[in-house]
Structure 1
Amino acid sequence: MEKSRIEYLLKKIEEQTSNAGEEQEKILENILKRNAETDYLNKFLHGQTDKQLFKKYVPVVTYEDIKSYIDRIIDGEPPNILTTETITEFILSSGTSGGEPKYVLSTADCSQKRTSIPMLMEAVMHKHIEGLDKGKGMYLLFSTPDFDTPSGLKARMFSSSYLSSPTFKTTLFKIVTTPIEIILSLNKPQSMYCQLLIGLIRRHEVLRIGTIFASTFPNCIKFLQDHWKDICSDIRTGHLSDWITEPDCRTPMSSFLLEPNSELADLLEPIFKNESWEGIITKLWPKAKYIDAIVTGSMSQYIGLIDYYSGRLPIISTFYNSSEACFGINMEPLNKPWDVSYTFLPNMAYFEFIPVDKESPQKAQKLHFNGVSNEESIEKLENGSAQIVDLVDVKMGQFYEVVVTTLAGLYRYRVGDILKVTGFHNKSPKFQFVERQNVALSIDRDKTSEGDLSKAIKAAEIEFEPHGFLLTAYSSFADTWSIPGRYILFWELKLRDSNTDRLKLDSNTMEQCCRRVEESLDFTYRLYRKMNLIGPLEIRVVKFGAFDELMNFFVSRGAAPLQYKTPCCLKIKEAIEILDSRVVGKFFSNGNLA
């Protein structure tokens, strides 16, 4: 990226965040002027465009509240049910939180905003890390099939929409090692093989390694373990393996496997043959400066694994995005993964925030919005009414659920993400992602959030780390069939100093892990355990690779590999059965909690 371009983009960020309030007023005014006559808004505003009327009469909604409108557009009715803008496609959510993907309307304006985020973040990265223009990034990116809806419009995942965008094809694509044809190939194994092979052939050009979500990394490491011999053979002979048959993969590879390179193969083979793969990323790509992947929220479980394989390269979560809207970017990319905050960009959408009482999560989760006015529809918390606030009015240290209004027909839509205000960049707030709303374990009146579970498991790692184990993935479910019900955690473990999947699990250590998790959960859980209203927590250790099978299951149901997030809490019977069939050890918390 040219210096003048970097300076221009950084200046735009400063202008936007310095005028956050004005930008928010402008974008809401634009949305209402364009869409006041739509069937949906006209029902509440009767053609009016006043902001106060919008906030008073337009209800705060979830996807289920507007699903019937979206279904009508999918079936071919005119989009002016929700928006006067031309709908270009439907963006599908990842579908792993609730089990089924959601359809989100997309317009040219929405697409432009989505693709501008990586460009802005690229400018921020050049500001903080020198020399990025001297090489490329090995980004592991994968496309998924789209499909036609009855309306004639295509439906596809956000990642596929982004990879197919003109911005990626003409601008951002220039920073990656892999040809666009291979990235867009729908054969993921062949695409992954070729991306890794090219990355190794061009290893001294690679200055950064990345993907979108951190969950892709374990899958790629496992793939390398299974295919490194073929990769080294291809490099040694200068001939691509015969099992790569897709033209989109095979044809571009002719530009990289020009001749045999036994010298590179001889260099790589001892690295792959090493009993321990700790730090293997920096051994394979010695000039890599950082890992680029989202490791906030449920992705935080992969931080330890990435540290292990990367030799503790900096891990940078670059931006905060969703299928519904773009939110913000990480203006302090060199912060530790646990301290990541995202600066909201006020020109992306109109943002509102529902205060969340983290001290009384069961009350916060009961917030209900069936009425049409804030005073009538928001239940009272102990400390007063939960008044929805604008972007510039959030308070430092407070927790909120984000609500978005967009040009693409979402009005006061609850995204379901819980955020914490950690500061401000100029006049725009910085938020730390805390958890997904309503993704929790619960047996009785206990409410264990995604964030609480993550912290409890983190506390338990101290028990098995001295034994050389590394937690590579986890999930959970609430077993309400047992009497009393109990929490069950699935853990995938590996040895730090070996690639063998044969683990010798010490019962005392694992039982102590169970107990440590329980001791780290909240007062309500511990009280109910003490009263025997919740049974002893169980950890089921699964064999290495079990979570790859879980991902394959969700991909088969429509989730995009590049957008896949391992569900923190499983609610689908088939998903639980996949992990249950691969259990190699079961352990329970012993004794009573104090």
Structure 2
Amino acid sequence: MLPVAAVVAAVVAVAVAVAVTLRASSALRHRLACSVLLRAAVRYRRRLELLGSEVGLSQERCLRRLLPRGTALGSEAFRERHPLGPSCPSDGALAARLPPLRPWALLRACWGSDPPLQGSLLYLDALRAAFPGALARGGTARLSWAPGRPRAPAGWPLPSLYCTPAEASALPSRAAALRVQLLFALRQRALRVLEAALAAELHDALAALRADWPGLARDLELGELSPQAGLAEDARGRLQALLVPDAARAAELRAECAGGFEGIVRRLWPRLQLVVVGMAHGAERLYCDALRQADCEGLPFYCPFYGAAGALLGVNLWPEEPAPRFLLCPDWAFCEFLPCPAEEELRTVLLDELWEGREYGLVLTAQPGEYRCRAGELLRVTGFHKQCPVVEPVRRESQTLSVRGESIPEDRFCRSLCRAVGLWPGARLVDYVCVESTLLGASSGATAPHYEVFVELRGLRDLSEGQRYKLDQCLQEDFPIYKSFRFKGSIGPLRLHMVGAGGFVRLREALGSPVPMPRVLREERLLQLMQSSIIS
């Protein structure tokens, strides 16, 4: 608990800052808000250091908050009374349960438990320390699509950071939302941060830039939004009112795009310092790697948060490191872990009982009444900060391929696929999904159970049968059990299909909600969409 004098001083400071901001210019309001938020971040950072020195006790307190009032269970009794539950009800993006931005809310965050606010405060503090100038007013552009439920930007307590209108993210069309946000980002030449809720959204927005840069340049020059599918006239009118003609910026966009797209992001925004993505691991890593190698060449990528089942669990305090790793905050959720490989007795270990270098399945109690849910996530412990474990996500259990119990995880399948693509001269993997033949029904024919894989490639227009077989061969080399089943004939040969450009963009829109890309399709309608996009 903070000293009373410090609390009173903080109350006065916040109250004065708020009073002044009501009369100040927008630039001054931004600076004052920055100062207040960063002070709150420093206070919570100190508290986190204290919590990290007594992880077991912090988790016990967290558990008591999540149990009904008057329940006096400790973690041992809690685990005995509540058996391991089913999978968590949500496995999508982080839920946007945002507290009000009032002085007392900020102060309460310094010693209470408010993960969305505390996470954003830590993000702003880490960003300021590693990238001076990244918190400039209007210096961040956000690319995000969330038509059903809003997703908060990483720096949501400081809305003056953003130059892109929040309304654009709620448009019913994903393509229209990303195009509008891209247009507003292009207006701001002095951009410092490019933020995307998912790496796939940044990937698709830059693909739209490649495909329609003349149209975007025209909109910039005229200061208007072109009519487009998915953009209603009333929304178009409100968004267009925020635009002004900018012929000079339009000419710059034309000149840079005419020169090619290698490193285009740094050429369009020469003061850009980094790219922030809501997820850079698992299914999204493929897009991050592609962006680093081409459009965003030379820029660091920072993934600030780790969450599962809609709950915020950890924060990345090291924005300059290339591989994201996350400190699990002990007062945000009650976490348990199942050691991998699974032991005979399904006995979980707690946050202060983890071993560095081991992998664990995550079991989560983050909401009252939702006890001991399996999050379907596997984590690897990479180290410790004080007593708090630092982890990296490994894979999602729901994205494991299996038609005979052979169990091929998504991360290892992706490595085998990338190895096979490397054997096809000139080819580069853009995207992929897999299907187990059971989803095909009668259309799979009378063959043995098998996998069907849909890929989008650059550098190749067709694949020979010999090249297609390379993937099956790589899987047999990497997975002895799969090879054994293939030799016995109980698993049939893998079938590989090439998908045309835009097929995976349509798939992401058809998903209907902003979730990490599913690498194993489980719905027939999504399979049919992929089948309609096959070109070879």
Fold agreement, TM-score > 0.5: yes
Which residue is equivalent to 2:31? none
1:331 matches 2:317: yes
- In 2, Cα distance between the equivalents of 1:256 and 1:59? 56
Q: 2:96 touches 2:152 (CA, 8 Å); kept in 1?
A: no
Amino acid at match of 1:474: Y
Q: What is the rounded CA distance, in whole Å, between the counterparts of 1:305 and 1:203 in structure 2?
A: 24
Match of 2:431 among 460, 473, 491: 473
Matches within 5 A, 1:516-531: 517-531=474-488
Does the C-alpha gap of structure 1 residues 213 and 35 become closer, same or farther in structure 2, counting only changes over 3 Å?
A: farther
**Which deviates further from its counterpart, 345-354 or 22-31?**
22-31
Structure 1 residue aligned with 2:187: 201
Residues 493 and 312 (structure 1 numbering): CA distance in 2 closer, same or farther, change over 3 Å? farther
| Local SS of the residue matching 2:181 | helix
Measure, in 2, the Cα distance between the counterparts of 1:240 and 1:105.
Answer: 29
Aligned to 2:327: 343
**Contact 1:9-1:123 within 8 A present in 2 as well:** no
Contact 1:173 1:180 in 2 (8 A): no
Match of 2:141 among 138, 141, 147: 138
**CA distance 1:30–1:471, change in 2 (3 Å):** same
What residue in structure 2 maps to residue 430 of structure 1? 390
Change (3 A) 1:280 1:291: same
Residue 264 of structure 1 aligns to which amino acid in structure 2? Answer: R
In structure 2, the partner of 1:493 is 457
Q: Distance in 2 between matches of 1:411 and 1:330?
A: 26
Q: Does 1:411 align with 2:371?
A: yes
Query: How do residues 30-179 of structure 1 correspond to structure 2 at under 5 angstroms?
Result: 30-32=65-67, 34=69, 36=71, 49-63=73-87, 93-94=91-92, 112-134=114-136, 136-145=139-148, 157=149, 160=150, 162=152, 168=156, 171-179=157-165
Q: Which letter does structure 1 place at the counterpart of 2:320?
A: L
C-alpha deviation, 1:407, in angstroms = 4.2
Moved more, 423-432 or 177-186: 177-186
With over 3 angstroms needed to count, the CA separation of the structure-2 counterparts of 1:536 and 1:111, relative to structure 1, is: farther
Q: Does 1:445 align with 2:405?
A: yes
Cα deviation, 1:310-361, whole Å, max 9, x if unaligned, reads: 124222222111344211011222222xx3221100110111111120xxxx
What letter corresponds to residue 326 of structure 1 in structure 2? L
TM-score, scaled relative to structure 1: 0.74
Q: Which whole-Å CA distance do the structure 1 matches of 2:113 and 2:169 have between them?
A: 19
Question: TM-score normalized by structure 2?
Answer: 0.81
Deviation at 1:515, TM superposition (A): 4.5
Q: Is residue 261 of structure 2 the alignment partner of residue 277 of structure 1?
A: yes
| CA distance in structure 2 between the aligned counterparts of 1:271 and 1:177, rounded to whole angstroms | 22
Q: Is the 8 A contact 2:200 2:287 kept in 1?
A: yes
Pair 1:234-2:222 in alignment? no
In the alignment, is the contact (CA less than 8 A) between 1:203 and 1:285 conserved in 2?
yes
Between the two structures, name the one with larger relative contact order (CA 8 Å, sep ≥ 6).
1
Sort the Cα spacing of 1:301 and 1:509 in 2 relative to 1 into closer, same or farther, 3 A: farther
Q: Structure 2 CA distance, aligned partners of 1:246 and 1:124?
A: 40
SS at match of 1:283: helix
Partner of 1:256: 243
Is the Cα–Cα contact under 8 Å of residues 494 and 544 in structure 1 kept in the other structure? Answer: no
**Residues 560-579 of structure 1: pairs in structure 2 closer than 5 A:** 560=513, 563-579=514-530
User: For residue 518 of structure 2, what is the amino acid of its counterpart?
Assistant: P
Q: Is the 8 A contact 1:329 1:344 kept in 2?
A: yes
1:421/1:432 contact within 8 Å kept: yes
Gaps of 5+ in 1: 37-47, 68-91, 96-102, 146-156, 358-363, 365-379, 496-502, 586-594
Please tell me whether residue 535 in structure 1 is matched to residue 525 in structure 2.
no
Residue matched to 1:459: 419
- CA–CA distance in structure 2, aligned partners of residues 489 and 189 of structure 1: 25
CA distance in 1 between counterparts of 2:356 and 2:267 reads 42
C-alpha distance in structure 2 between counterparts of 1:435 and 1:314, whole Å: 23
Instruction: Give distance in 1, aligned partners of 2:509 and 2:70.
Output: 40
Q: Given that residues 142 and 191 in structure 1 are in contact (C-alpha distance below 8 angstroms), is that contact kept between their aligned partners in structure 2?
A: yes
Q: Counterparts of 1:197 and 1:216 in 2: how far apart (Å)?
A: 14
For residues 243 and 449 of structure 2, the distance between their equivalents in structure 1, rounded to whole angstroms, comes to 57
Q: Is the 8 A contact 1:514 1:538 kept in 2?
A: no
> In the superposition, relative to structure 1, how do residues 245 and 410 fare at CA in structure 2: closer, same or farther (>3 Å)?
closer
Shift of 1:483: 2.6
Q: What CA distance in whole angstroms lies between the structure 2 residues aligned with 1:343 and 1:447?
A: 29
Q: Distance in 1 between matches of 2:398 and 2:226?
A: 47
Structure 1 window deviating more from structure 2 (477-486 vs 124-133): it is 477-486
Deviation track 1:60-86 (CA, whole Å, cap 9, x = no partner) reads: 10148xx8xxxxxxxxxxxxxxxxxxx
Cα distance change of structure 1 residues 574 and 248 upon mapping to structure 2, 3 Å threshold: closer
* In structure 2, C-alpha distance between the alignment counterparts of 1:111 and 1:471, rounded to whole Å: 43
Q: Is there any run of 5+ residues in structure 2 with no aligned partner, and where?
A: 1-33, 100-108, 439-443
- How big is the alpha-carbon RMSD for the aligned residues of Structure 1 and Structure 2? 3.0
Q: CA deviation at 1:131?
A: 2.4
SS at structure 2 position matched to 1:583: coil
Percent identity between the aligned chains? Answer: 21
Deviation at 1:251, TM superposition (A): 2.7
TM superposition shift of 1:239: 3.8
- Cα distance in 2 for partners of 1:309, 1:196 equals 14
Q: What is the Cα deviation at residue 418 of structure 1?
A: 0.9
